[in-house]
Structure 1
Amino acid sequence: MKRLSKPLLTSAALALAFTLLPATNAQAQEGRKNFYRAEIVILQRLVDPASIEEQMAGKQIESSRNVAKSLWVEDANGRRSSDLKLAGRNELHLGRAASRLENSGNYRVLAAAGWYQNFPPNYNGSPLRVAVGDWLTGAQQTAVEGHIEIDRKRYLHVGVHLNHWQDSQASEAPVKTVNGEEEAAEPEQTGTIADIAENTQPTIAKPVPAELVTWIKETRRMRSQEIHFIDSPTIGVLVFFRKL
């Protein structure tokens, strides 16, 4: 078997490296071309929900709690979790706009998130769960819940699906249980007083459900370097993209 000399091996390695170099540079340039800084600020408009003309209490909403990835999710103690590496609010381009709205006394900032991400053409993003705002004790959830999704076809598109809830104001009748089972109506009680007293358990009230105030269900095309505002009567979302 003929062995190649060391100079020949070196030349072959250099030739291979120069052959691969243009492809590697092209891939890097393509990746940089699709790299963005994404920023999202979620706001609550400080208005009395009772003054809102839309009556949405009876609307049925699909839950976003099973969405796999989290953008900004808070628990009952206000602790935040996210699957993204988020920048601080003071680092955001939207930081000043959020502060101006907050200082107006008409808005409250619920979340301010910024991160870097590659959005190549034909990118179908995964829904990112959002859970922010006051903790609703009766419903055991935050006041604003839903998800935000970012896709890119020819342009970037942001889909905002957020629901604004409040604890239900309707009082529900207590449910009486007999032998641990709920009864929808008052049962006909027979037997001795001792038997009735033994079989009847303490009255237990059903958990108070959440009541829908307003929602945002909108998908909008985004232009880079422009601030976009998507809102409802009680909540709003600022969106900003900057190509790097």
Structure 2
Amino acid sequence: MQIDGIRWCRYPTRAILAALLLSFSVTGAAQQPDRDKLPLEPGAPVPDDYYRAEIIILERIIEPEAINERMSDRTVDEATETEEILWSVGQGGTTETTLDLAPQEDLHLASAATRLERSGKYRVLVAAGWYEAFPPDYEGTPLRVEAGDWIDDASTRSVEGHITIDRQRYLHVDVHLNHWQRGDEIEQPVADIEADIAVATPSEAPEPDSPDSTSGSATTGDSPDQPLPLSVESAPLELLTWIRETRRMRSEEIHFLDSPTIGVLVFFKKIEATE
């Protein structure tokens, strides 16, 4: 087996990750599953171009301040509308999926994910595998991903996006993931806020003799020399990093797509029909 897509010098922990995966690829074995374990009707033949697709999403354990890339000013498209869910963790921690996931012990990548977590440098956010036929010219539906830490103010997980599997001559996996963090709080003087409101909702000036008119100095209780109170607003989400990559896949090879903070391991096992 081979490992595809390792770019050796991009990030500091690349050598550790590559060594772990190489060790696994030598010692691991992608065995053909028992026919009875496949999600098929009893007696039904194994379809042509039938695979077990496996996806592991990792978060690199690193302080945001250590990220050299600055992406907070990047424009992110709205989330792709899809009813298919690969892995979605709700606010309460319940995981939802629309796929018939294979047991974790059947995954070829399970050992690799365990080793990466034991290294202390990665956290496994998603570990999923399922069986599906991917015939030529297959056009997959985007699979929704929501994982990582829950960000209260935004009601979202820190890692979200979608993954799409297509097949032409070869299988192709399109990874479109965002890694968010909560932005800093913004302090704005109340006077500025009131001015903004006044501009947004202008009112007619009072008549000179009306009770609301004033002359001379202001009669508010605040001294001009006193600092104005501050109002703390919740800042929007801030983009930490993302993955935007489409990769051609060969079966029984471990493929790795990554950014400075998140990575995706992909593996396909061709399921052969047995007598």
Q: TM-score, normalised by structure 1?
A: 0.76
Q: Give the CA deviation at 1:243.
A: 0.6
Q: Give the CA deviation at 1:185.
A: 7.7
| 8 A Cα contact 2:55 2:267, kept in partner | yes
For each residue in 1:53-101, what CA deviation from the matched residue of structure 2 results, as whole angstroms up to 9, or x when unmatched? 1100011111226322111111111111111011233331100000011
SS of the residue aligned with 1:147?
strand
Q: What's the % identity of the aligned pairs?
A: 51
SS of the residue aligned with 1:228?
strand
What aligned pairs does 1:165-176 form with structure 2 within 5 A after superposition?
165-173=180-188, 176=193
What is aligned with 1:101?
A: 116
Further displaced range: 163-172 or 39-48? 163-172
Q: Note if 1:208 corresponds to 2:223.
A: no
Q: Note if 1:243 corresponds to 2:258.
A: no
Give the Cα separation in 2 of the matches to 1:237 and 1:221.
14
SS of the residue aligned with 2:79?
coil
Q: Give the CA deviation at 1:205.
A: 5.7
Q: Which runs of 5+ in 1 are unaligned?
A: 1-27, 197-202
Equivalent AA in structure 1 for residue 249 of structure 2: M
Distance 1:133 1:174, change over 3 A: farther
Equivalent AA in structure 1 for residue 150 of structure 2: W
What is aligned with 1:11?
A: none
Give the Cα separation in 2 of the matches to 1:210 and 1:167.
5
What is aligned with 1:164?
A: 179
For each residue in 1:149-193, what CA deviation from the matched residue of structure 2 results, as whole angstroms up to 9, or x when unmatched? 000000000000001000002425377579xx9556898997279
Equivalent AA in structure 2 for residue 44 of structure 1: E
SS of the residue aligned with 1:33?
coil
Distance 1:184 1:139, change over 3 A: farther
Count of aligned pairs: 206
Q: TM-score, normalised by structure 2?
A: 0.67
SS of the residue aligned with 2:188?
coil
Give the Cα separation in 2 of the matches to 1:157 and 1:59.
26
SS of the residue aligned with 1:154?
coil
Equivalent AA in structure 1 for residue 152 of structure 2: T
For each residue in 1:209-234, what CA deviation from the matched residue of structure 2 results, as whole angstroms up to 9, or x when unmatched? 11000000000011101111111000
What is aligned with 2:92?
A: 77
SS of the residue aligned with 2:108?
coil
Q: Give the CA deviation at 1:206.
A: 4.8
Give the Cα separation in 2 of the matches to 1:166 and 1:225.
35
Give the Cα separation in 2 of the matches to 1:152 and 1:182.
54
SS of the residue aligned with 1:162?
strand
Give the Cα separation in 1 of the matches to 2:188 and 2:201.
12
Equivalent AA in structure 1 for residue 82 of structure 2: V
Give the Cα separation in 2 of the matches to 1:111 and 1:155.
24
SS of the residue aligned with 1:173?
strand
What is aligned with 1:228?
A: 255
Give the Cα separation in 2 of the matches to 1:168 and 1:192.
42
Give the Cα separation in 2 of the matches to 1:174 and 1:32.
66
| 8 A Cα contact 1:63 1:146, kept in partner | no
Equivalent AA in structure 1 for residue 156 of structure 2: Q
Give the Cα separation in 2 of the matches to 1:184 and 1:85.
55
What is aligned with 1:19?
A: none
What is aligned with 1:38?
A: 53
| 8 A Cα contact 1:174 1:206, kept in partner | no
What is aligned with 1:47?
A: 62
What is aligned with 1:110?
A: 125
What is aligned with 2:10?
A: none
What is aligned with 2:107?
A: 92
| 8 A Cα contact 1:35 1:116, kept in partner | yes
Q: Which runs of 5+ in 2 are unaligned?
A: 1-43, 207-211, 215-219, 221-229
Q: CA RMSD in A?
A: 2.9
What aligned pairs does 1:135-146 form with structure 2 within 5 A after superposition?
135-146=150-161
| 8 A Cα contact 2:180 2:238, kept in partner | yes
